[in-house]
Amino acid sequence: MVELTIVGRLADGLPLAQGPRYVNKDNENFIFYRQQAEFILKEISRGALTPSKMTILIDHHSFNYLVENGVCFITLCDSSYPRKLAFYYLQDLQKEFEKLDNTLIHKITSPYTFHKFDGVIRHIRKQYVDTRTQANLSKLNADRQKDIDIVTQHISEIWERKRNSETTVATHPAAPTIWGSPLLEVIALKWTPITIVVAAASVLLWASLILTEDFIISTL
């Protein structure tokens, strides 16, 4: 069964819309799965997950996502739900989304406020609840030899990669530029006294030349 659906903006990972809640668990588990979906959306938006289609395993469920034209469609299904049908569902969502005014998408600033699409998700989901309908059986049987080879990972792998990348950044900070860096301090400590001495000598030399010139003029 399709249990959770989120549509998000790829540019910044902002979740725009979500379908009705169908996770048959308590509220805490629903929040957990939605947080995982939001994490996946953020990872896609920052380029950590590059495939345009992917299946991510979690517990006895799987997230399937589809990225098209700067928008990401994510759905959570139980492990018994046919993956092929899940992607047909995402494709139908994407087609309906393309019919909307694209300028509206860029104006949204708060998560889950594109309520206009919530109803679309609800309507399309109803068509995929029963996998045994004639329409869904036809989709499952279509192009059996041409099923897309979709990348599959476990959510734990993605979290581990995220933690490793953060650890790498923390232990190997970017090399500081010369300005405002310890290197600049060393250079300043070394050359400042020399610069002062040279400047003082230049002033004394200039003063002596002026005095000499005045003396010569006065003796003429």
Higher-scoring residue by pLDDT: 71, 186: 71
Phi/psi for 54 (5° steps) reads: -160, 150
Give the pLDDT score at 61.
95
pLDDT digits (tens, 9 = 90+) for 197-220: 666 667 566 556 555 555 444 554
Nearest-angstrom CA–CA distance, 41 and 197: 61
pLDDT digits (tens, 9 = 90+) for 147-173: 667 899 999 999 999 999 888 776 665
* Bridge partners of residue 188, in order along the sequence: none
Nearest-angstrom CA–CA distance, 111 and 34: 12
Coil, helix or strand at residue 122 = helix
Q: Which helix (H) or strand (E) is 14 found in, with range? A: strand 14-18
> Out of 20-29, 32-41, 145-154, 211-220, which region has the weakest mean confidence (pLDDT)?
211-220
Give the pLDDT score at 215.
43
What CATH number should be reported for the domain whose range is 2-170?
A: 3.30.450.50
Give the pLDDT score at 24.
57
The rounded mean pLDDT for the chain is 82
Higher-scoring residue by pLDDT: 6, 147: 6
- Angle (CA) 51 71 42, round 5°: 65
Q: Taking a C-beta distance cutoff of 8 angstroms, is the pair 160, 48 a contact?
A: no
Give the pLDDT score at 20.
74
Give the pLDDT score at 102.
81
pLDDT digits (tens, 9 = 90+) for 107-137: 999 999 999 899 999 999 999 999 999 999 9
Q: How confident is the model at residue 106 (pLDDT cuts 50, 70, 90)?
A: confident
Q: How many Å is the maximal CA-CA distance in the chain?
A: 121
Give the pLDDT score at 43.
97
Q: State the average pLDDT over residues 5-30.
A: 83
Give the pLDDT score at 178.
44
pLDDT(63) > 60: yes
Q: Where are the domains of the chain?
A: 2-170, 177-219
Q: What is the DSSP string of 47-108?
A: TSS--SEEEEEETTEEEEEEEETTEEEEEEEETTS-HHHHHHHHHHHHHHHHTS-HHHHHH-
